[in-house]
Amino acid sequence: MEWNNKPYHSLDYMLKGRFGDKIYKLALNGGMTCPNRDGTLDSRGCIFCSQGGSGDFAGNKSQSITEQINDQKAKISRKRNARYFIAYFQAYTNTYAPIEFLTSIFTEAIERPDIIALSIATRPDCLSSEVLELLSTLNQYKPVWVELGLQTIHPRTSKYIRRGYDLSCFEKAVQNLRVLQIEVIVHTILGLPGENENDIIQTMNYLNQQDIQGVKLALLHVLKNTDLAKDYEAGLFTAYTMEEYIELVISCLEHLSPDIVIHRLTGDGPEELLIAPLWSRSKRTVLNTLHHTFKIRNTWQGKLF
């Protein structure tokens, strides 16, 4: 089966089918922190996380949400005829703040007529009953998606990356969100030290058994000034080549349920911080090579799915 000439259920295909138009994401910064940084769980953050808290491409936290949205809309509109957007609260943990503050910034975004949905990146252990109630209320007005950073199902790896919660916490968060009919998108990282292809496919098979609606497949980036960079420079692990990564992504897509929407196939590392893999700086090349590889295999072997 193909979705808009792609052999996987792409986010673009889903958005066009649901909203009837090309939709763009605006990456926002709500100025929050994380329990892995403020001393609640740890003060070092996850081992791979830059000081930007996975929001290196998000808006300027010194600006209001409205100002961030307007600035990013202006940049996109210079190149594209963009009319509708998803407000993506990306940096750090976006439900880790007083409920009054969350209500204010989420409402500021969702009430705009050009915003058709909210996407909120957070941790499974930062979804209190108050937060769930707020998200449920917003979800009755416009779609709300919650993006959970799982990364891996394997305890040894989650301990190494300092994730700070176990699988039961993740599963409870998914259950609580789905009861409220809130869509769940799961972040995974491919290439974590100590994990081989079988470990990663086990994570994909696990996700097939969960009530989730989307997955992000992110390439592990080694960034400057992180503990991960120290281990990389000490030779404790190596980064994927582009060919290895493409083969792994194809394997993941072959194992994931076709009902799950693929929100990401690689990732972006800030150029000024990226140590490895340097080939990932050309995201367009990576995606073009991936799709070309798919087409070749479809020609030789028939449809992959």
Q: What is the pLDDT of residue 79?
A: 79
Q: What is the pLDDT, as a whole number, of residue 305?
A: 42
Q: How far apart are the first and last CA of the chain?
A: 6
| Distance (Å, whole) CA 210 – CA 40 | 28
CB atoms within 10 A of CB 155: 11
Which of 88, 102, 92 shows the shortest CA–CA distance to 23? 88
Angle at CA of residue 170, ends 169 and 172, nearest 5°: 65
pLDDT of residue 39: 94
pLDDT at 6: 74
- Residue numbers of the chain with a pLDDT score lower than 50: 53, 300-305
Q: What's the confidence (pLDDT) of residue 233?
A: 97
- 3-class DSSP state for residue 4? coil
Per-residue pLDDT, 51: 72
pLDDT at 80: 83
All domains of the chain in start order, with CATH: 11-301 (3.80.30.30)
Model-wide pTM > 0.85: yes
Q: What per-residue confidence (pLDDT) applies to 271? A: 87
Residue 52: per-residue pLDDT: 56
For residue 151, the model assigns a pLDDT of 97
State the Cα–Cα distance between residues 263 and 145, nearest whole angstrom.
12
